[in-house]
């Protein structure tokens, strides 16, 4: 018997107990059905009892499940009272790290979370990469960030939790006069012989550089050597025009003047973007972010991997262990 139980597990149990249907309960909590089933199974293991009798036609509470219902309601009610006592004017803002203003997966999740919890203050910070944000998360100077969790060192990952949000297709940014700029899509093989910028030497984005090296390995593509990072659209445009170096990006990256953004194909490389937080984080705004990620992911098919999609083996293994 554990010394404590995560409220999330009780919340999953209570939703199923009240709906007697896993699909409806998952929709009610804005989580994937697989994640909900996993939480219920974990609660059963931790309590050492079976809480539901499951069949292809129905779900029913066992005697132990019936006994747990009032306890679960009291515990979750007490938690809600505690959170309510610290909401409002005196509530602490949730510090949300994003990569670039107004751009990408994190911004879309944040906007929806603000709609789901308008009373919460979700305040944006910019670390420009998960590698740079991870230390701030662990130190408590940030609450959540977005990025490739599998690219972090194992020691850093141990202090963080994560939720896969999106398999984000990758792209290449090219000067408009580049030999590949006329293509609608760029096959990876067409980049052979090119040096592609992927943040090498930037201490804030080592997970992105690692992803590029894994993608380029054996394909005759090299990672461009370290160079000062261009900050701002005007500076990015100037550097691109001067160097002509392709830049590894994602499909949502905005084209700047005299550049084009082209999806990569054959295979379609994917960046496994996760919502990442320090373990033990409790905040109503954080709950809204997690719900928003699931809602948008389901609506947009963010977690459907294309048949010809590619992600590094280390990311595949980590996601399997998460299940």
User: Last residue of some domain: 250, 269, 288?
Assistant: 269
- Relative to beta strand 160-175, strand 247-250 is antiparallel
Judge whether 289 lies within some domain: yes
Same domain, residue pair 155 and 292: yes
| Number of domains into which the chain is organized | 3
**Cα(92)–Cα(79) distance, rounded to whole angstroms?**
17
Asked if residue 87 has pLDDT above 70, the reply is no
- What's the whole-number mean pLDDT along residues 269-290? 91
Clarify whether residues 178 and 263 are in a common domain. yes
The C-alpha atoms of residue 89 and residue 121 are separated, in whole angstroms, by 10
pTM of the model: 0.72
Assigned domain for 1 exists: no
Encode pLDDT of 228-269 as tens digits.
676 767 777 777 777 878 999 999 887 788 889 999 999 999
The answer to whether position 208 is within a domain reads: yes
37 inside domain: yes
Q: Compute CA distances 158 → 61, 150, 277, whole Å.
A: 35, 12, 11
Region 269-283 average pLDDT? 90
42 and 132 housed in the same domain:
no
Do 80 and 117 belong together in one domain? Answer: no
Shared domain for 143 and 255, answered yes or no, is no
* 261 membership: H or E segment, kind and range: strand 259-265
Mean pLDDT of 219-229: 87
Q: In residues, how long is the chain?
A: 323
* Furthest C-alpha separation in the chain: 72
Task: Confirm whether 302 is domain-assigned.
Answer: yes
Task: Give per-residue pLDDT as tens, 182-218.
Answer: 999 999 999 999 999 998 888 888 999 999 999 999 9
The pLDDT value given to residue 254: 77
Are the CB atoms for 38 and 323 separated by under 8 Å? yes
Question: Does residue 292 register a pLDDT over 70?
Answer: yes
By the 8 A CB rule, do 133 and 147 touch? yes
CATH code for position 74: 1.10.10.10
User: How far, in Å, are 65, 102, 153, 279 from residue 25 at the CA level?
Assistant: 16, 33, 36, 25
Please give the pLDDT value at position 200: 86
Domain end position, chosen among 85, 101, 124: 85
CATH number at residue 292: 3.40.190.10
Q: Is 69 exposed, middle or buried (0-12, 13-18, 19+ CB in 10 A)?
A: middle
Looking at the structure, do residues 246 and 286 belong to the same domain, yes or no? Answer: no
The reply to whether 66 and 119 lie within a common domain is: no
Residue at 239 is within a domain:
yes
Residues 130 and 151 reside in one and the same domain:
yes
Do 217 and 81 fall into the same domain? Answer: no
In the block, tokens 């931790």 appear at: 46
Confidence of residue 42 (pLDDT cuts 50, 70, 90): very high
**Same domain, yes or no: 156 and 278:** yes
DSSP 151: G
Q: What is the mean pLDDT of residues 120-139?
A: 87
What confidence tier does 90 reach under pLDDT thresholds 50, 70, 90? very low
The answer to whether residue 2 is domain-embedded is: no
Given a cut of 60, is residue 31 above it in pLDDT? Answer: yes
Q: What does the pLDDT read at residue 76? A: 83
The rounded percent of the chain whose pLDDT value lies above 70 is 92
Q: Is the pLDDT of residue 2 over 70?
A: no
pLDDT of residue 91: 65
Kindly state whether residues 173 and 235 are assigned to the same domain.
yes
Q: What is the mean pLDDT of residues 8-26?
A: 88
Q: How confident is the model at residue 270 (pLDDT cuts 50, 70, 90)?
A: very high
- My answer on whether 156 and 299 are in the same domain is yes
Helices (H), the chain: 7-19, 22-29, 33-47, 63-85, 104-116, 130-139, 154-157, 206-216, 233-243, 284-300, 313-322
The verdict on residue 283 lying in a domain is: yes
* 124: containing domain: 92-167+271-322
């Amino acid at each position: 018997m554990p010394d404590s139980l995560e409220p999330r597990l009780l919340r999953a149990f209570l939703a199923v107990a009240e709906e007697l249907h896993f699909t409806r309960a998952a929709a009610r909590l804005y989580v994937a059905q697989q994640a909900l089933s996993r939480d219920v199974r974990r609660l059963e293991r931790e309590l050492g009892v079976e809480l539901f009798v499951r069949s292809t036609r129905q779900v029913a509470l066992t005697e132990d499940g019936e006994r747990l219902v009032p306890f679960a309601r009291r515990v979750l009610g007490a938690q809600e009272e505690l959170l309510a006592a610290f909401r409002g004017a005196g509530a602490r803002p949730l510090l949300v790290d994003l990569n670039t203003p107004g751009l990408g997966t994190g911004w879309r999740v944040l906007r929806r979370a603000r709609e789901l919890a308008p009373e919460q203050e979700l305040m944006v910070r910019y670390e420009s990469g998960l590698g740079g944000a991870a230390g701030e998360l662990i130190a408590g100077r940030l609450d959540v960030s977005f990025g490739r969790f599998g690219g972090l060192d194992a020691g850093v990952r141990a202090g963080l939790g994560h939720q896969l949000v999106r398999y984000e297709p990758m792209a290449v940014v090219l000067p408009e006069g580049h030999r590949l700029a006329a293509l609608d899509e760029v096959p990876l093989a067409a980049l052979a012989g090119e040096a592609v910028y992927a943040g090498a030497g930037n201490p804030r984005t080592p997970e992105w550089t690692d992803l590029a090296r894994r993608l380029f390995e054996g394909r005759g593509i090299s990672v461009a050597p370290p160079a000062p990072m261009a900050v701002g659209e005007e500076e990015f445009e100037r550097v691109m025009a001067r160097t002509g170096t392709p830049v590894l990006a994602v499909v949502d990256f905005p084209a700047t003047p005299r550049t084009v953004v082209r999806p990569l194909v054959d295979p379609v490389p994917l960046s496994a973007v996760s919502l990442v937080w320090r373990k033990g984080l409790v905040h109503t705004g954080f709950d809204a972010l997690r719900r928003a990620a699931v809602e948008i992911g389901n609506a947009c098919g963010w977690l459907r991997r294309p048949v010809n999609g590619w992600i590094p083996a280390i990311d595949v293994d980590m996601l399997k262990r998460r299940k």
